[in-house]
Structure 1
């Protein structure tokens, strides 16, 4: 009997082991959930959470107003290649109201949504929603790095749907970009409504044309981004813009200087319109804005940077019907000192302390005729800046 049991177990054991081995082998040989071809594509794709969070303290005319924690910036970004000659980029802003647009059929919360196709080694064609290549480094800098914008960039529609053709010279030191974009994100009625001046009607082609040159000079010590743009805002109401951006790198110091000039037949920034609305119910005509922006970045230690931004704006109403007019209605100033500390040299995450001080100085003409009042504002922030690359 014992012998029978011994032989029975001896025969049965391999059968049991074989039965257990079968499922394991079938799992190993099954098709993976994510095919290898898809994994290869992911090697050329970046997923980024552009983040700035802070404890903000606000002041008006040196009086404390409020203090609270804020998510100042949260922009989800995914970009990369889907083909050897096709590149895509998408960025959505979660700190902006996602109101739908009636011209380009995409939410204003979407900054970027475009495809770039390489037509030749030096030429590419881009379609979709992209940043207007207005010229200047303030706008080209990652938004999480800009604590506050100057007037022109702050009041403009900087992301528009359109097409662009980019050409680089053989030395790759000079790049030329030509864009045809929508001039605005809203319809004429939504933009101006009942404030449209008499005789000003909507155009059938609310478009802008942009020409930009980016240069690398003196062995890369000087970089430039210069632009001219023409906007069709309404019938017989246009906008002309010039932007001159300069970047100088020397040792541990990086210095930026932007000059921007916007001449507008119909006030798009609305700074002048809002100033004179106590007496005039229509959008101002024949206005101009001049911005100067300077930013210095200096690395005092491998983990410590100090930054200083300076900005000015002059706003003019050249079309004021008053014979005793003063064209300049407002001058504003801004200064933003910042200290950044990077605790990890292998991760782009920074703690920062920054103060945004701005002063709005109205001319005596604006004060006497439109009851404009000078004001100063401040914002002290303690926070974190991090473009978190998660893939």
Structure 2
């Protein structure tokens, strides 16, 4: 009898135990947070923390002012396919004040939030908040790689809500983009506050139209991103913007050159307005900005990269009512030498040391009339640049 009981115990115990475990799993088990069929979508989705952090040391007119650790850039980006013909991209900036007073109902810290629909293998349609396709490689470069922007890109509103249509020729070496966007993020009142000149009224359709050509020439050794943009920001106050971006590649050397020209009936950038505000109560009218941006990158070793950026910017006030006026008010110059070291071959993380030097040269007329003074600023930074791919 004992042998029979022992035999039944040995046989039945695993069966009873399995039944208990199965019952326990049914009672307490949960479905995964992401259902199994949805997991396949993740293979086409990237989650990236675009990061730049550094110890920054500041100088004004050659005198050291202070040092501070800074999280200069932190932009969370998610992008990928959610359908064979639908692509999405989202990027939010955590190092910018989240101003909700906008015309598109999004905070200004939101860079990108748009969908791309593949109409044909050569044609795409996009809708949402996107970067204005002004042209120029300074703006197209990942922001964590730009230690300091030139005047136009630094003061312009570059991320706007609208629609875009892109068409590529059969060889995909020439791509044409057309955008229709809101002309600004800020409300008209916020943009110009109480400084609006008499006779200027808000447009009922404050939009900007953009046409862009991206070319790949000479076996892609020379690439271009050229554009023309027309702003309809206010009645009797339009704007025209031309940008010519060039990229040259030769072995370990890459060269970039951007030329940008902005003609504004009403000063959108605010640089000229800030210069003349001691004498004039209104936003400046009929202003021009001309920017030149040059950058060279040379990979001297597989893990060591040298970069050198030179920039200049010129500001003109053609609408000055002074009969003795001089249109050119300000010339700004900047240089940014940088060295980058990439210690890892399996992750895009770089240690860098960079120096930003800028000089403001005001014309004699601007100094005598508006009381502005020349000055220099400097910044020495030691830090880390990393687009951290976490998924």
Same fold (TM over 0.5): yes
Q: Which residue of 1 aligns with 2:183?
A: 183
- Find the aligned partners of 2:173 and 2:31 in 1 and give their Cα distance: 45
Offset at 1:5?
2.8
- Match runs of 1:333-348 below 5 Å: 333-348=333-348
The answer as to 2:319 corresponding to 1:319 is: yes
Specify the alignment match of 2:157 in structure 1.
157
Q: Alignment partner of 1:67: what SS?
A: strand
Structure 2 distance, partners of 1:77, 1:24, is: 42
Separation of aligned partners in 2, 1:233 and 1:283: 14
Which whole-Å CA distance do the structure 1 matches of 2:14 and 2:347 have between them? Answer: 50
Separation (CA, whole Å) in 2 of partners of 1:197 and 1:291: 26
CA distance in 1, matches of 2:311, 2:9: 86
Partner of 2:290: 290
Give the direction of change, closer, same or farther, for the CA distance of 1:57–1:213 in structure 2 (3 Å limit): same
Aligned to 2:111: 111
Which residue is 1:9 aligned to?
6
2:21 maps to 1:21: no
Contact 2:102-2:108 at 8 Å conserved across structures: no
Distance in structure 2 (CA, Å) of the matches to 1:285 and 1:222: 37
The 3-state SS of whatever aligns with 2:9 is: helix
- Which residue is equivalent to 1:244? 244
CA distance, structure 1, for counterparts of residue 86 and residue 301 of structure 2:
40
**Offset of residue 154 of structure 1:** 0.2
Instruction: Give deviations 1:291-325, integer Å, cap 9, x for gaps.
Output: 00000000000000000000000000000000000
Q: Matched residues in 2 for 1:218 and 1:23: separation?
A: 71
Match of 1:225 in 2: 225
Q: Give a deviation string over 1:155-201, Cα, whole Å, max 9, x none.
A: 00000000000000000000000000000001111111210001111
For the aligned residue pairs, the C-alpha RMSD in angstroms reads 1.2
- Counterparts of 1:130-141 in structure 2, within 5 Å, are 130-141=130-141
What's the CA shift for 1:24?
4.6
Post-superposition Cα deviations, 1:225-281, rounded to whole Å, max 9, x if no partner, equal: 000000011101011000000000001000000000000000000000000000101
Name 2:350's counterpart in structure 1: 350
* Cα distance between partner residues in 1 of 2:88 and 2:20: 42
> Residue 310 of structure 1 corresponds to which residue in structure 2?
310
CA distance in 1, matches of 2:30, 2:197: 67
Matched residues in 1 for 2:67 and 2:87: separation? 42
Q: CA deviation at 1:16?
A: 1.9
Secondary structure of 1:206's partner?
strand
Specify every segment of 5 or more residues in structure 1 that has no aligned partner in the other structure, as ranges.
none
Contact 2:239 2:264 in 1 (8 A): yes
Equivalenced residue count is: 387
Counterparts of 1:203-222 in structure 2, within 5 Å, are 203-222=203-222
- Cα separation, 2, equivalents of 1:334 and 1:267: 23
Deviating 4+ runs (over 6 angstroms):
none
| Deviation at residue 21 of structure 1 after TM alignment | 1.6
Match of 1:81 in 2: 81
Q: Which runs of 5+ in 2 are unaligned?
A: none
Residue number in structure 2 paired with 1:71: 71
Mapped partners of 2:31, 2:285: distance in 1:
64
